Amino acid sequence: MNKEGQSLKRIKKLLTKKISILSSIMIIVSGILIGSFVLANLRNGNQDFIKAGLVENTKPIAEIAQKTGPSMVGIRMTIVTTLDRFFEARGQTSRAEGSGVIISKDGYIMTNYHVVSNADPRNKEHKKVTLEVFLPDQRQTNATFIGGDPLNDLAVIKIDLKNLTVAKLGDSSKLKVGEPAIAIGNPLGLEFAGSVTAGVISALNRTISIEDRTLNLIQTDAAINPGNSGGALVNLEGKVIGINTIKISVSGVEGLGFAIPINNAKPIVEQLIKYGYVKGRPLIGISGREITESMANYYKLPVGIFIANVERGSGAAKAGIRKQDIMIRLAGKKIETMLDLNEVKKAYKAGDTVNTVIVRGKRKLTLKLTFSEEQ
């Protein structure tokens, strides 16, 4: 290689080295600029990250638990049944425990209906049931059942104690997916009373079907377990935004808890306190069993609701509906399940009149049904 070629080679090496150094300097500068930007955001906008659930901030959760905890109570339902065995009376005791929220200075407590259902006077065994409430300040007392709404899984009970801490109720219509949520209650019973779990609002307006009813719920990944039922889901202001009610317990599935939005619960609870039931809600007055498609094919019957019993004096009784009738339509809608029946009822109130189609033997009859009032 001649001298001119060697010189050109040296120049290329020097230029390549300089470019490499400049690139490294640019990367370092970019890193410093990006780091400064992130640091500035963390310093100046930390609360935004906290609200978004990107940065942990345990101090508010501790403060909220301390502030809201005194309003959360444990509820125990004790059922005593007497068995006559070889002419000897023996008592059998069963217990169920859950949570509740103090909503007034005079002792009204909001909870789930399923937590206290056996104490409902509509339950034949209610006289054998004792309700007890356990407060965070170690006080405990018996409670009175005030009213219950099985359809929305809400109930109100009352205690006679002074110096009660009342929970502040929030506005569930303002909730946003991703904002923090804190569940407070008694998972697995009173042994773990006052437990606090934190998560986020995972979804809103989740429609969940349970047995013969449909609930519109808040979804959260804050841990909710048996015993949490009736407890509070609260926001970062320490306000109750929901009443914890169910968790999906399936192998391999975690973080699927649900709460009744407080805006849905408030009007129902107010009516339970005032009347003991939800006023104006329509009642048909039947109990029945679903005839599924497979059953219908086997027994040569129509799909619908087999009427097992008709309540005396109810709208169904006055309409002429009898035991062993099969209801197949109500208010123009096909009826195949109890869920179908309840969905149709939601569009009406006590006193409204609709047509119902029933099958009696080999005859199909159309009857006029006036809803009575559910109490």
51: its two tokens: 């609200």
Residue extent(s) of CATH 2.40.10.10 domains in the chain: 71-81+92-158, 172-270
Query: What residue ranges of the chain have pLDDT lower than 70?
Result: 1-59, 82-91, 187-194, 249-255
State residue 270's pLDDT score.
96
The residues, ordered by sequence, that sit 6+ positions from 185 with a Cβ below 8 Å of its Cβ are: 72, 98, 99, 195, 224, 227, 228, 229, 230, 231, 232, 244
Q: Can you give the pLDDT at residue 191?
A: 63
Pick among 2.40.160.60, 2.30.42.10, 2.170.190.11, 2.30.30.40: CATH of 282-373: 2.30.42.10
pTM of the model: 0.74
Residues 256 and 138 sit within 8 Å (Cβ to Cβ) = no
| Confidence at residue 96, expressed as pLDDT on a 0 to 100 scale | 85
Separation CA 350–CA 282 (nearest Å): 4
Q: Write down the pLDDT at residue 62.
A: 83
Mean pLDDT across the chain, nearest whole number?
82
Report how far residue 63's alpha carbon sits from residue 70's, in angstroms, rounded to the nearest whole number: 12
- pLDDT of 229 reads 87
Q: What number of H helices and E strands is found in the chain? A: 8, 21
CATH of domain 71-81+92-158: 2.40.10.10
Decide yes or no: CATH 3.40.1180.10 for domain 172-270: no
Q: Which sequence positions are flagged as catalytic? A: 114, 153, 229
Tell me how far apart the alpha carbons of residues 184 and 225 are, in angstroms, rounded to a whole number: 11
